[in-house]
A and B are shown apart, each in its own frame.
Chain A
Amino acid sequence: MALEIIVMIKQVPDSQEVVIDPVTFTLNRGAARNVINPADENAIEAALRIKDKTDAHITVITMGPPFAESALIDCMSRGVDDAVLVTDRAFAGADTYPTGLTLASTIKKLGKYDIIFAGEESTDSSTGHVGPGVAEFLGTDQASYTSESWYEDGFVYAKRELEDGTEIVKMKPPTLITVLTNANDPRRATLRKKIDAMKKGIKTMTLADLGMPPEWVGLRGSPTVVKSMRTIDEKKREGKKFKIEEIPKLVDELIEKKIISI
Chain B
Amino acid sequence: MSEFDVIVVGAGPAGASAAIKLATSGSSVLLVERGDPPGSKNVSGGVLWGDSLGSVAPDWEKAAPMERYVEAKGVSFLTKDSKISIDFRSKKLQERRSGYTVLRTKLDGWLSKKAKDAGAMVASGITVDKLAFKDNRVIGVEQDGDIITSDIVILAEGANPRVAINSGIRERLKDRDVAIGVKEIIKLPEKTINERFNLTSSKMGFASEYVLGFLEGGVKAGGFIYTNKESISLGLVISMKEMRQNNNTRSFDLIEQFKEHPYIAPLIEGGRVDEYSAHMVQEGGLKSVPQLYGNGFMVAGDGAGFSFSNGMVLQGMNYAIASGIAAAESAIKAKIKSNFTREGLSSYEERLKSSFVLQDLMNFKGIEEVTWSDMIHRGIPNMSEELFLSLFSENGQPKAHLINLLIGAMGHSDVPRKDMVINMYRMLRRM
Contacts and interface: CB of A to CB of B under 8 A. Distances in A.
A192 B146 contact: yes
Interface in A180-234: 188-192, 194-195, 198
Given A33-B37, A190-B143, A192-B143, 8 more contacts: A33-B40, A191-B128, A191-B141, A191-B146, A195-B123, A195-B148, A198-B121, A198-B123
Contacts of A191: 32, 123, 126, 128, 141, 143-144, 146, 148
Q: Which of A189, A190, A191 has most chain B Cβ within 10 Å? A: A191
Interface in A5-51: 33
A194 B37 contact: no
B125 interface: yes
A189 B127 CA distance: 10
A82 interface: no
A74 interface: yes
19 contacts: A33-B37, A74-B36, A74-B125, A77-B125, A77-B126, A188-B144, A189-B126, A190-B126, A190-B146, A191-B32, A191-B123, A192-B144, A192-B148, A194-B126, A195-B3, A195-B121, A195-B148, A198-B121, A198-B123
Contacts of A74: 36, 125
Given A189-B126, A190-B143, A195 B37 contact: no
A195 B7 CA distance: 12
Given A33-B37, A195-B30, A189 B125 contact: yes
Nearest to B105: A33
A194 B30 CA distance: 11
Contacts of B40: 33
A16 B357 CA distance: 40
Contacts of A188: 144
Contacts of B144: 188, 190-192
A77 B143 CA distance: 13
Contacts of B148: 191-192, 195
A223 to B, nearest CB: 36
A-B pairs, top 9 by smallest CB distance, nearest first, are: A191-B143, A192-B146, A190-B144, A194-B123, A191-B126, A191-B148, A198-B121, A189-B125, A194-B126
A190 B141 CA distance: 12
A193 B65 CA distance: 32
A226 B268 CA distance: 40
Interface string B128-143: 1000000000000101
Interface in A72-130: 74, 77
B326 to A, nearest CB: 26
Contacts of B3: 195
Interface string B278-322: 000000000000000000000000000000000000000000000
Contacts of B143: 190-192
Nearest to B109: A33
A195 to B, nearest CB: 7
Contacts of A198: 121, 123
Q: Which of B36, B37, B121, B123 has most chain A Cβ within 10 Å? A: B123
A191 to B, nearest CB: 4
Contacts of B128: 191
Contacts of A77: 125-126
Nearest to A187: B144
A191 B144 CA distance: 8
B3 to A, nearest CB: 8
A77 B40 CA distance: 19
Contacts of A189: 125-126
A189 B40 CA distance: 17
Contacts of A194: 123, 125-126
A21 B270 CA distance: 21
Nearest to A34: B37
A59 to B, nearest CB: 21
Interface in B66-86: none
Contacts of B123: 191, 194-195, 198
Interface string B1-37: 0010000000000000000000000000010100011
Interface string B28-52: 0010100011001000000000000
A151 to B, nearest CB: 26
Contacts of A192: 143-144, 146, 148
Nearest to A70: B37
A33 B30 CA distance: 24
A235 B121 CA distance: 49
A227 B32 CA distance: 47
A223 B122 CA distance: 42
A109 B3 CA distance: 36
Q: Which of B128, B141, B143 has most chain A Cβ within 10 Å? A: B143
Contacts of B121: 195, 198
Contacts of B32: 191
